[in-house]
Amino acid sequence: MSENKSTYCPVCKGPRFGAFCFRCGGPTIPATLECPHCKEQVSVISNFCSECGKPIQEQVKNFMAKELQRKPVQQVPGPEGAR
Protein backbone atom coordinates (compact mmCIF):
# COMPACT_ATOMS: atom_id res chain seq x y z
CA MET A 1 0.00 0.00 0.00
CA SER A 2 2.46 2.59 1.16
CA GLU A 3 5.26 3.43 -1.21
CA ASN A 4 7.20 5.13 1.53
CA LYS A 5 9.12 2.10 2.52
CA SER A 6 12.68 2.66 3.42
CA THR A 7 15.02 1.24 0.86
CA TYR A 8 18.73 1.23 0.29
CA CYS A 9 20.78 1.86 -2.82
CA PRO A 10 23.73 -0.53 -3.01
CA VAL A 11 25.34 1.67 -5.66
CA CYS A 12 25.24 4.98 -3.82
CA LYS A 13 25.37 3.19 -0.48
CA GLY A 14 22.71 5.25 1.13
CA PRO A 15 19.16 5.15 2.41
CA ARG A 16 16.47 5.87 -0.14
CA PHE A 17 12.75 5.92 -0.53
CA GLY A 18 10.98 4.08 -3.24
CA ALA A 19 11.87 1.32 -5.62
CA PHE A 20 14.49 3.28 -7.51
CA CYS A 21 17.34 5.49 -6.41
CA PHE A 22 16.81 9.18 -7.07
CA ARG A 23 20.51 9.65 -7.62
CA CYS A 24 21.58 6.86 -9.92
CA GLY A 25 18.21 5.55 -11.03
CA GLY A 26 19.18 2.06 -10.10
CA PRO A 27 16.93 -0.35 -8.32
CA THR A 28 16.97 -0.18 -4.57
CA ILE A 29 16.46 -2.94 -2.06
CA PRO A 30 14.60 -3.04 1.24
CA ALA A 31 16.56 -1.30 3.95
CA THR A 32 16.22 -4.15 6.38
CA LEU A 33 16.57 -7.86 6.28
CA GLU A 34 15.85 -10.63 8.67
CA CYS A 35 18.69 -11.79 10.83
CA PRO A 36 19.21 -15.48 10.12
CA HIS A 37 20.11 -16.07 13.72
CA CYS A 38 17.40 -14.30 15.71
CA LYS A 39 14.89 -13.28 13.01
CA GLU A 40 15.14 -9.66 14.03
CA GLN A 41 14.91 -7.00 11.35
CA VAL A 42 18.33 -5.49 10.94
CA SER A 43 19.59 -2.78 8.65
CA VAL A 44 21.31 -3.88 5.44
CA ILE A 45 24.20 -1.57 6.23
CA SER A 46 24.97 -3.42 9.43
CA ASN A 47 27.86 -5.76 9.72
CA PHE A 48 26.49 -7.32 12.83
CA CYS A 49 23.01 -7.95 14.10
CA SER A 50 22.05 -5.40 16.71
CA GLU A 51 19.99 -8.00 18.53
CA CYS A 52 22.23 -11.03 18.77
CA GLY A 53 25.59 -9.58 17.79
CA LYS A 54 26.29 -12.19 15.18
CA PRO A 55 27.97 -11.23 11.92
CA ILE A 56 25.50 -10.84 9.07
CA GLN A 57 27.74 -9.52 6.31
CA GLU A 58 27.35 -12.68 4.30
CA GLN A 59 23.58 -12.57 4.63
CA VAL A 60 23.53 -8.93 3.64
CA LYS A 61 25.55 -9.68 0.55
CA ASN A 62 23.33 -12.55 -0.49
CA PHE A 63 20.24 -10.56 0.30
CA MET A 64 21.36 -7.66 -1.86
CA ALA A 65 22.27 -9.91 -4.74
CA LYS A 66 18.96 -11.67 -4.57
CA GLU A 67 16.90 -8.53 -4.26
CA LEU A 68 18.69 -6.84 -7.11
CA GLN A 69 18.24 -9.85 -9.32
CA ARG A 70 14.58 -9.90 -8.60
CA LYS A 71 14.04 -6.24 -9.29
CA PRO A 72 13.17 -5.46 -12.86
CA VAL A 73 15.60 -2.83 -14.02
CA GLN A 74 13.35 -1.88 -16.89
CA GLN A 75 9.70 -1.37 -16.46
CA VAL A 76 8.28 -4.47 -17.95
CA PRO A 77 4.72 -5.39 -17.23
CA GLY A 78 4.72 -8.78 -15.69
CA PRO A 79 2.66 -10.98 -13.51
CA GLU A 80 2.82 -9.90 -9.93
CA GLY A 81 1.89 -11.62 -6.78
CA ALA A 82 2.42 -15.22 -5.90
CA ARG A 83 3.41 -13.89 -2.54
Residues in touch with Zn ion (CB under 5 A): 9, 11-12, 21, 23-24, 35, 37-38, 40, 49, 51-52
**Residue whose CB is less far from Zn ion, 3 or 35:** 35
Contacts of 28 (CB under 8 A, 6+ apart): 7, 8, 9, 10, 16, 18, 19, 20, 21, 71
> In whole angstroms, what is the distance from residue 74 CA to residue 43 CA?
26
Q: Using the minimum distance from each CB to Zn ion, give the nearer residue, 5 or 37.
A: 37
What is the closest distance, in whole angstroms, from the C-beta atom of residue 54 to Zn ion in the complex? 5
Nearer Cβ to Zn ion (59/82): 59
